[in-house]
Amino acid sequence: MARMLSRARSDRGRCRRLGFYMGWFHFSSGSDGSSAHVTVSMDKGQIQKDKDKAVDKVQDLGQQAKDKVAPTTQKAQE
């Protein structure tokens, strides 16, 4: 159980770092003298664009793998 929790924390950390790197999250801060304000914004549009690009890339790589294996499979069947 402890191993699973550790893994989940590690995965969340990777996801946050990736999000910052990809520009999904933005920080802003301000102060009115007696208090400080920190705002974290999430760019859902950018996340969706990056997700769509990743899906397209994976599908393209899958098709390339199928195309590469198909001739080998046909030869084996003959």
**35 or 33: which carries more pLDDT confidence?**
35
Higher per-residue pLDDT: 70 or 24: 24
Res 8 pLDDT > 70: no
Give domain limits for the chain.
1-42, 44-78
Whether the pLDDT of residue 76 is over 80: the answer is no
Cα separation, 62 vs 55, whole angstroms: 10
* Residue 43 near residue 20, CB atoms below 8 Å: no
The model's confidence at residue 17, banded by pLDDT at 50, 70 and 90, is confident
CA 63 to CA 78: how far, in whole Å? 23
pLDDT band for position 56 (cuts 50, 70, 90)? very high
pLDDT for position 10: 77
